[in-house]
Amino acid sequence: MMKELQKFAVDTRRKFHTFPEVGFTEFITTFEIYQLLQSLSFDLYMGKEILESNERFGVPTAGEIEASKARAIAYGVPEAFAEKLDGGHTGVVAVLDTGRKGPHIAMRYDIDGLPIIESDKAGHVPFDESFQSRHPKEMHACGHDGHISIGLAVAKYLDVHKHELTGKFTIIFQPAEEGLRGANSIVQKGWLDNVDYFMSGHLGINSLQAGSVAATADQILASTKFDVAFTGKSAHAGVEPNEGNNALTAAATALLQLNAIPRHRDGTTRINVGRLSGGSGRNVIADEAVMLVETRGETTELNQYMYEEAVRIIEAAAAMHNVKASIQFMGQGLGSECDTEWIQIVKEACKNNSDVKEIFDVLPLKASEDASYMIDHVQRNGGLATYMIFPSLLPAGHHHPEFDIDEDAIRTAVSVYIDLINYLQHQ
C-alpha cells in the first residue's frame, strides 16, 4: 500500500502545482483538499472555525481576496463553498479521533504558493511535463504543493487504518505560511492545545540526494514581516524640482541602508526588501512608495536587533527626505528549537524504512517558519515538537522560477510520517 500512497502523493502534488494561490486566497486549493478528504473518516473544519480572524497577520486586501475567489468560482468551486472562506479564511483542519486511549498527534502542512512567475524554459520539469502553474503570476516555488500531497496521503493512511489506531489525529492544512501569517491564528483558536506530538517539516531546503530525512531542524530563524509606506509631496520634476518631497528617494535610501545593517556578533541575521514600488508619472516627483520588508535572526533577540535597526533607519530615511513613513506589521515567526528526543524517535521509527537512505540528527533550515508558533505552544504545554527536513537535489533555490523538487523526497516523507505515526502509537 505504501507504493500506492506514494504514487498518489506525487500525482496529487502535480495537480496542486497547477493552481498555486498566495496566502489567504487559497480558494481552489482549500476546495480540492476538502474534496479529497470528504470521503474519508475525518471531521473537517474550515473558515472562522479554524482561524482566529484577528490573529491572522498580513491579510491581503479585500480586492485581492475577491479576485482569487472569482477565479476559483470560474474554476468550478461552488459559490456556497467559497462563501465559507470569505474574507480570506482559507485552509482545512481534519480531525480523526479513534476514541481509543492514545496520544494526540498533530501534523501541519502548509498550502500556499508564491507571487512568482514560473519558468517556461525547457529543462524545468513542471514545464516539460506540463504541470506548470496555470496562474500567470503565482507559483508553488517552495514545495507546499508537495506538503499538501504528503498530508493527504497521510490522511488516507489514517483513514484506512482507523480501526487499528489509538488516540487522536489532527491534520492542519494551514494557509499563508509565506510571510508567517497563518499559524498564529490557528494556535489562538486552540487547535494545538493538548497535543502530545507535533510534527511538521519541509521538502528540499538542503540540496542533497533525495531519500534522506533530518529528524530535527535548527536555525529556524525568528522573523518579522512588515510593510513601509512613505508619503511625500508630488511636484513637476522639470518646473519645480525643489517643491516635491520625494517618497521614492526616501524608500531607495532606506532600502540601501537596510541592506547595510551591521552583522551581529551573536549569530545569523537577515534582512530583505522583497518588493518596492512608488511614484506615478515619469515627470512627477513621487509622492508615495511602499516596500515589503522582513528581518530575521537566529534567535528572537537577534531578530529584534535587526528590527530595531530597521525601524531607526526607516524613520531617518523619511526625515532625511522630509516625508512620512508608516510601518505596518504583516507577520512574525519565532526562533524555535526542536526537541532533541525526536532524533532517537525518528531513528527508531524508520530503522526498517527502505525509502530512507540516511537519517540526519539535524539539518539547518536557515529560514523562518510560522510552525514556530505551533512548536512553541506544544512545547509550553509539555508536548514534543519537531520540524523535519526531507532533502532533495534542487535545480534552483526555493522561491526561484525554476525551483523544483525531486519527487522521491515526497515518497520518502510519506513513508517517514507513516512510520512515525505507528511508532508514536506505542510511546
Residues 337-376 that bind a second copy (CB under 8 A): 365-368
Residues 62-91 that bind a second copy (CB under 8 A): none
Distance CA 222, CA 351 (A): 33
Residues 220-249 that bind a second copy (CB under 8 A): 221, 223, 225, 233-244, 246, 248-249
Distance CA 302, CA 293 (A): 16
How many other CB atoms are there within 10 angstroms of residue 20's CB atom? 28
Residues 36-55 that bind a second copy (CB under 8 A): none
SS3 labels along 165-207:
CCCEEEEEEECCCCCCCCHHHHHHCCCCCCCCEEEEEEECCCC
Indicate the SS3 state at residue 143: coil
How many other CB atoms are there within 10 angstroms of residue 6's CB atom? 23
Report the sign of the C-alpha dihedral through residues 339, 192, 19, 15, in that order. positive
In whole angstroms, the minimum distance from the beta carbon of 115 to a second copy comes to 5
Cβ pair 156, 11 in contact under 8 A = no
- Position 398 contacts a second copy (CB under 8 A): yes
Residues 161-200 that bind a second copy (CB under 8 A): 178-179
- Position 146 contacts a second copy (CB under 8 A): no
- Position 251 contacts a second copy (CB under 8 A): yes
Binding segment toward a second copy, per CB under 8 A, in 96-104, 109-117, 164-172, 335-343: 109-117
Distance CA 313, CA 316 (A): 5
- Position 393 contacts a second copy (CB under 8 A): no
Q: Binding residue for a second copy (CB under 8 A) from 264, 337, 339, 347?
A: 264
- Give the Å distances, CA to CA, from 24 to 50, 83, 184, 276: 13, 13, 13, 22
What does the per-residue mask of binding to a second copy show for 298-317, with x meaning CB under 8 A?
A: -------x------xx-xxx
Taking Cα atoms as reference points, which of 42, 414, 380, 15 lies closest to residue 213?
Answer: 414
Retrieve residue 303's grid coordinates.
531578530
Find where cell 534552483 sits.
396
In whole angstroms, the minimum distance from the beta carbon of 110 to a second copy comes to 14
Binding segment toward a second copy, per CB under 8 A, in 88-96, 111-119, 123-131, 349-357: 111-119
Which CB sits closer to a second copy, 36 or 235?
235
Q: Residue 309: which residues within 8 A CB-CB, separation 6 or more? A: 261, 262
- Position 123 contacts a second copy (CB under 8 A): no
Size of the site for a second copy (CB under 8 A): 82
In whole angstroms, the minimum distance from the beta carbon of 422 to a second copy comes to 32
Helix (H) or strand (E) run with residue 317 in it: helix 300-320
- Position 115 contacts a second copy (CB under 8 A): yes
In whole angstroms, the minimum distance from the beta carbon of 405 to a second copy comes to 14
Which CB sits closer to a second copy, 17 or 202?
202
Cβ pair 385, 220 in contact under 8 A = no
Binding segment toward a second copy, per CB under 8 A, in 77-85, 186-194, 318-326, 373-381: 318-326
Binding segment toward a second copy, per CB under 8 A, in 26-34, 83-91, 293-301, 348-356: 293-301
Which CB sits closer to a second copy, 213 or 306?
306
- Give the Å distances, CA to CA, from 111 to 63, 177, 241, 314, 363: 21, 8, 48, 33, 23
- Position 324 contacts a second copy (CB under 8 A): no
Binding segment toward a second copy, per CB under 8 A, in 11-19, 41-49, 264-272, 418-426: 264-272
Retrieve residue 190's grid coordinates.
486552540
Q: Binding residue for a second copy (CB under 8 A) from 265, 352, 354, 382?
A: 265
